[in-house]
Amino acid sequence: MKNLPRILFAILLGSIPLMGIADTYTDLEERVVEHELPNGMRFLIFERHDAPLVSMVITVRVGSVNEVTNKTGLAHFLEHLAFKGTQTIGTTNYKAERKALKELDAAFGAYHSAKKQGADSVTVVELYAEFKQKQERASGYVVQGEFSEIYERNGGSGLNASTSCDYTDYYLTLPSNRFELWCAMESDRLANPVFRELYKERDVIIEERRMWIDNNPYGLLYEELQSIAYKAHPYGHPVLGHLSDMANLSRQDVRAFYETYYVPQHMTAAIVGDVDANEVITLIDAYFGRIPSKPDPPELITTEPGQPGIRRVLMKKGKSPRLYMLFHTVPAGHPDELTLELLSIVLISGHSSRLYRSLVEEDKIASNLYLARGNFTYGGYVYLAGSPMQGVSAARLEKAVLEELAALKENPITQEELDAAKARWKVWYYYPIASNSSMAFFLSWYDRCKGGWRELFDRVDEVDKITCQDLMDAAERYLDPDKRTVALMEVEDE
Amino acid sequence: MSRKIALLLFLLPLTWGIAKIKGPRSMEFPARLEFTPHQVDRFSLSNGIQVFFVEDHEIPVTDIYFLIKAGENRVPADHAGLADILADVIAKGGSNQVPKDVLQDSLDRFGASFTGSAGTEQATFKLHLLSEHVPALLPLVVGALRDPALPQNQLEIKRGKYLTSYQGRNDDPRSVAPRIFYKLIYGEDSPEAREVTAACLENITTEKLKKFHQATYRPCHIMIGVKGDFDPKAMLNLLERCIGDWPEPDEETHHEFSLYIDPADPGVYLVHWPGSVQSNIRMGHPSLVRSDPRYPESRLLAEVYGGSWYSRLLHQIRIERGLAYVVSGSISTNLEEPGVFRGVCLTKWETTLEAAKLMLEIISDLKTEGITQRELELARSSWLASFPAYYAEPEDVMSDRMNYAEHGYPIDFWDQLPDKVEPLTREDINRFAAEFLEPEKLIILVLGDTTSFDGSLSELGEVQIIDPEVY
């Protein structure tokens, strides 16, 4: 009798069919206009006339994965410097400024070498004064902040950029009548960037690292997890870079990295909003067509070898234990990616999910549980983060998570669980297209870093084909407890 | 000559359809863009509940919001957290007719979510689902709002989460600094700043939740917003059936507490944080109520102060000197009580004093010298041109309309602002800055490792030490 209401509601709700949403996606897919320039740069345009706004995202397939020892943090540093202007924006006289920048870099080099080689303090102080004097001179040609100021004066919102291990995004929303401004500004910075004010901006990114990592216990813990998860692949180093590398990055480093990796055939721009696709294409051809073709960047050869055993790190800090657990999975675009998404939902999303129900609701071991998937070009992962309830250690939570994963064998995933996961997946899947800015982001990301932009829409057909057995196979293949990487934060000793 | 003409004639067709390239500096656009925000329709149910609809048929998803005047400002300080715990337990715990497991299984079955939380002024619930499942699921969640089961287990879980969070409250300096800053500004017992302690949690029982629910979850406190792919007539009928018959009880409701309860005295406050590699500097004082006639002036002053890339804080501290990654300033407002004028900067220990002094100088200069004509033009142009972005999404307009309606403002308060901002002169802004900015009333908080500062904080004034373990 206790379960009667539950059964009645299950019958009532079970009678309502799950809808097919593929039609909506087909309609949306057909509205995307694709355009490619002779230099290889790609554009995706989606007209949406609800408000007089247009959102743009440029995705460049370059990230920290392209960095080498001594030069970590370079992709992110370049992203910052890309806001410093061009040969025509941010300067009063580029020709004179270029000369001043050369002298400045020479002065910095002399100061830096003297300091490193242990020159006497008088020499170091003199060279430093020379460097500051040259810096002052170069600054004299700079129109500080002009690049962002032009956008802001024109109502630009959300002006920013981000760097990940695989790609770098530049994004902005503008009043739609100013779309041409974006074409002029972005094509100029992609073709003619000037990495001015470098030494000051280097201090800024070091402050950024301090904020996210060095002064943040959970940032530090994540960095540790990342570093032990990879022994060969550059995914193991932080996107922000190691402090010692960051402090030594030079203009030559940035320029060489830009010349090698900022190639038009590795760039996609998505434009979503109140624009006319034909007019957009005319402007794109004129402005972005001037970006010269470049050779393909070198291919990354290093592959991460299979993980032979458990890797773990333990930190003791503060009073809030934390568990991070990572399993290597598949690269972006792999057929198992979708199966892993559904498996993640079964395990941790919604109140009926296995880990939530068991560890949060019943045993009250976890306060919060979070599971993310890293969909990366050269190999992804499933990553679980958990905060134990007060009085519970991170190690105890780790044990409980492993027990739940082991229980999958005795209690296989049911059709009911799979249906619920698919339903949740479909509701979530509307998120990427709900707003102009998110749609622009997902279109360009799928196009440049996954299996192409159409995958954003086509995956909805694939999800219905996945079975319970697929999920069980994926759990066995990828969530192997003997190949886990774990970072634990336990309470600091008194 | 004839060969040149022939070449030109040959090339001419190639240039058709090719736009002429212009430089960004030479591009000019009208200051304002004709713009009509998404249409929001307003209705009343039989029991007086106000309902707002905004349709968006591009994707088959609907979001239903319930905003209820049942926030933390109706809870005494020794019960802090009660309003938020109640909202969470309602959303997760089901009703006396539909138990928790049935509600949760039903939501999960359709991939829907129903969440609840409470802030200072109101509790907010959101039902997010595919549109076709609204008729099946809406009655279940409304049942939970009207007659919640409030299972003890859910209360225990939420209490455990609060205790866990309280236990680690001093682990991350980035969260310690704002917590202490707002306690200083609003006062330790303010519903805007206070903490949910173990003692508060002891006081929160199922009986107390029930009592608070009876007193505050009532039709006159509720507004409903629906956004997405739905038929308005059918939705209105459904809401009328589900919630329109909820009678208004006779008892008196809880009174509201002010946001400002015994704030700290102006001055310099220090949290010594051994080993911290970055200092967290915050300074501010109370600001305006949004209904203040000088609100338009405050928007432009905020842009110039710290709300843009060209603002003085960002320009002088980040761009010119490279002292910080995070540096910003704002003039926030509340609808019924003053908000906060504040500045924030995170910088390395050895530039702590340098950055703090710069922040103070900027505030002082704005008060005494005011903004320049160029800054005015930049701020005005930027604010007016970006106005449509404030209403980019349909729910932005809807939540705005609901917010202003609830507090007795003209529903189109925000829409009227461009006409008030456009004619503002430099003299208007500077008059406002001179009145509004009060450097002598600033609360200045610095969190960092004092052993490595570039000077003594006492250069800024008499320093009071705060121990984060007990404050």
Chain A, nearest residue to B382 by Cα: A153
Write out the two tokens for A313.
């790190």
Chain B residues closer than 8 Å to A433 by CB: 58-59
Tell me what the mean pLDDT of segment B47-57 comes to.
Answer: 96
**CA neighbor of B344 nearest in space, from B142, B185, B198:** B185
3-state helix, strand and coil shares in percent for chain A, rounded to the nearest 5:
50, 15, 30
- Contact between A230 and A236 under an 8 Å Cβ cutoff? The reply is yes
Choose the closest CB to A5 out of B98, B113, B348. Answer: B98
Choose the closest CB to B160 out of A150, A202, A364. Answer: A364
B23, pLDDT greater than 70: yes
Write out the two tokens for B24.
């960004």
End-to-end CA distance of chain B: 87
Chain A residues closer than 8 Å to B126 by CB: none
Say whether A175 and B386 touch across the interface (CB within 8 A).
yes
Parallel, antiparallel, or unpaired: how do β-strands B443-448 and B278-286 relate? Answer: antiparallel
B168 in reach of chain A (CB within 8 A): yes
Q: What is the pLDDT of residue B258?
A: 92
Chain B: nearest CA to A327, how far in angstroms? 26
ipTM of the complex: 0.91
Could you give the CA distance from residue A198 to residue B26 in angstroms, rounded to a whole number?
27
What stretches of B119-221 adopt beta strand conformation (E)? Answer: 123-130
A335 in reach of chain B (CB within 8 A): no
HEC readout, A244-272: HHHCCCCHHHHHHHHHHHCCHHHEEEEEE
Q: What is the pLDDT of residue B35?
A: 85
**CA neighbor of B260 nearest in space, from B332, B331, B176, B184:** B184
Tell me what the mean pLDDT of segment A60-68 comes to.
Answer: 97
Q: What is the pLDDT of residue A450?
A: 82
B448, pLDDT greater than 70: yes
HEC readout, A394-407: HHHHHHHHHHHHHH
Chain A, nearest residue to B170 by Cα: A318
* Residue A29, helix vs strand vs coil: helix
Chain A, nearest residue to B107 by Cα: A350
Tell me what the mean pLDDT of segment A475-492 comes to.
Answer: 96
At B309, give phi and psi (nearest 5°): -65, -30
Report pLDDT digits (tens) over B233-287: 999 999 999 999 999 987 766 788 999 999 999 999 999 999 999 999 999 999 9
Could you give the CA distance from residue A243 to residue A265 in angstroms, rounded to a whole number?
32
CATH architecture for residues B41-243: 2-Layer Sandwich (3.30)
At B51, give phi and psi (nearest 5°): -125, 135
More confident residue, B294 or B470: B294
- Contact between A249 and A68 under an 8 Å Cβ cutoff? The reply is no
Could you give the CA distance from residue A283 to residue B279 in angstroms, rounded to a whole number?
47
A417 in reach of chain B (CB within 8 A): no
User: Which residues, 6 or more positions from A98, have their beta carbon under 8 angstroms from its beta carbon?
Assistant: A194
Cα distances from A142 to residues A67, A94, A133, A197, B154, in angstroms, run 29, 9, 15, 8, 59
Could you give the CA distance from residue B38 to residue B40 in angstroms, rounded to a whole number?
6
Tell me what the mean pLDDT of segment A37-65 comes to.
Answer: 96
Choose the closest CB to B318 out of A175, A204, A283. Answer: A204
Could you give the CA distance from residue B343 to residue B263 in angstroms, rounded to a whole number?
18
Q: Hey, which residues does A56 pair with through a beta bridge? A: A172, A271
Q: What is the pLDDT of residue B5?
A: 52
Q: What is the mean pLDDT of chain B?
A: 93
- Per-domain residue ranges for chain A? 30-91+142-288, 306-490
A181 in reach of chain B (CB within 8 A): yes
Write out the two tokens for A161.
């950029």
A9, pLDDT greater than 70: no
User: Which residues, 6 or more positions from A20, have their beta carbon under 8 angstroms from its beta carbon?
Assistant: none
CATH architecture for residues A306-490: 2-Layer Sandwich (3.30)
A4, pLDDT greater than 50: no
For the domain B267-465, what is the CATH superfamily, name and number?
Metalloenzyme, LuxS/M16 peptidase-like (3.30.830.10)
Tell me what the mean pLDDT of segment A280-301 comes to.
Answer: 96
- Rounded to 10°, the helix A436-449/A455-463 angle is 90
Tell me what the mean pLDDT of segment A176-181 comes to.
Answer: 96
pLDDT cut 90: percent of chain A above it: 86
**CA neighbor of A79 nearest in space, from A223, A197, A195, A218:** A195
CATH 3.30.830.10 intervals, chain B: 41-243, 267-465
Could you give the CA distance from residue B406 to residue B410 in angstroms, rounded to a whole number?
10
Parallel, antiparallel, or unpaired: how do β-strands A322-328 and A381-388 relate? Answer: antiparallel
Tell me what the mean pLDDT of segment A293-315 comes to.
Answer: 96
B49, pLDDT greater than 70: yes
Write out the two tokens for A448.
């440049």
What stretches of A409-477 adopt beta strand conformation (E)? Answer: none
User: Which residues, 6 or more positions from A253, have their beta carbon under 8 angstroms from its beta carbon?
Assistant: A71, A74
**How many CB pairs below 8 Å do chains A and B form together?**
269
A160, pLDDT greater than 60: yes
Chain B residues closer than 8 Å to A388 by CB: 164
- Rounded to 10°, the helix A4-14/B100-109 angle is 20
Query: Within 10 A of A187 (CB to CB), how many other CB atoms are there?
Result: 22
Report pLDDT digits (tens) over A221-250: 999 999 999 999 999 999 999 999 999 999
* Residue B310, helix vs strand vs coil: coil
Write out the two tokens for B63.
């979001």
- Contact between A258 and A84 under an 8 Å Cβ cutoff? The reply is no
User: Which residues, 6 or more positions from B284, have their beta carbon under 8 angstroms from its beta carbon?
Assistant: B181, B185, B340, B341, B342, B343, B442, B443
Query: Within 10 A of B71 (CB to CB), how many other CB atoms are there?
Result: 21
User: Which residues, 6 or more positions from B260, have their beta carbon under 8 angstroms from its beta carbon?
Assistant: B186, B187, B190, B286, B337, B338
A425 in reach of chain B (CB within 8 A): yes
**CA neighbor of B357 nearest in space, from B455, B426, B424, B278:** B455
- Contact between B200 and B229 under an 8 Å Cβ cutoff? The reply is no
Write out the two tokens for A386.
């958990």
Could you give the CA distance from residue B178 to residue A113 in angstroms, rounded to a whole number?
42
- Contact between B37 and B415 under an 8 Å Cβ cutoff? The reply is yes
Parallel, antiparallel, or unpaired: how do β-strands B463-465 and B267-272 relate? Answer: parallel
Burial level of B430, CB count in 10 A (0-12/13-18/19+)? buried
Sign of CA dihedral A237, A240, A244, A250: positive
Q: Hey, which residues does B380 pair with through a beta bridge? A: none
A390 in reach of chain B (CB within 8 A): yes
Tell me what the mean pLDDT of segment B145-159 comes to.
Answer: 97
A24, pLDDT greater than 80: no
Q: What is the pLDDT of residue B26?
A: 86
**Eight-class DSSP state of B56:** -
A15, pLDDT greater than 80: no
Helix (H) or strand (E) holding B122: none
Chain A: nearest CA to B107, how far in angstroms? 9
- Minimum mean pLDDT among A336-350, A426-440, B204-218, B445-459: which range? A426-440
Q: What is the mean pLDDT of chain A?
A: 92
Chain A residues closer than 8 Å to B324 by CB: 204, 207
**CA A338 from chain center: how many Å?**
19
Cα distances from A297 to residues A43, A70, A290, B328, in angstroms, run 20, 19, 20, 38
Report pLDDT digits (tens) over B426-443: 999 999 999 999 999 999
Choose the closest CB to A318 out of B97, B136, B168. Answer: B168
Could you give the CA distance from residue A453 to residue A450 in angstroms, rounded to a whole number?
8
DSSP A42-68: EEEEEE--SSSEEEEEEEES--GGG--
CATH architecture for residues A30-91+142-288: 2-Layer Sandwich (3.30)
Q: What is the pLDDT of residue A10?
A: 38
Tell me what the mean pLDDT of segment B338-350 comes to.
Answer: 97
Q: What is the pLDDT of residue A23?
A: 60
pLDDT band at B16 (very low <50, low <70, confident <90, very high): very low
Could you give the CA distance from residue B315 to residue B292 in angstroms, rounded to a whole number?
29
B4, pLDDT greater than 70: no
Chain A: nearest CA to B57, how far in angstroms? 10
pLDDT band at A6 (very low <50, low <70, confident <90, very high): very low
Sign of CA dihedral A194, A199, A202, A204: negative
* Residue A429, helix vs strand vs coil: coil
Q: Hey, which residues does B348 pair with through a beta bridge? A: B278
What stretches of B89-133 adopt beta strand conformation (E)? Answer: 113-118, 123-130
Considering only residues 327 to 346 of chain B, which have any Cβ-Cβ distance to chain A shorter than 8 Å?
346
pLDDT cut 90: percent of chain B above it: 89
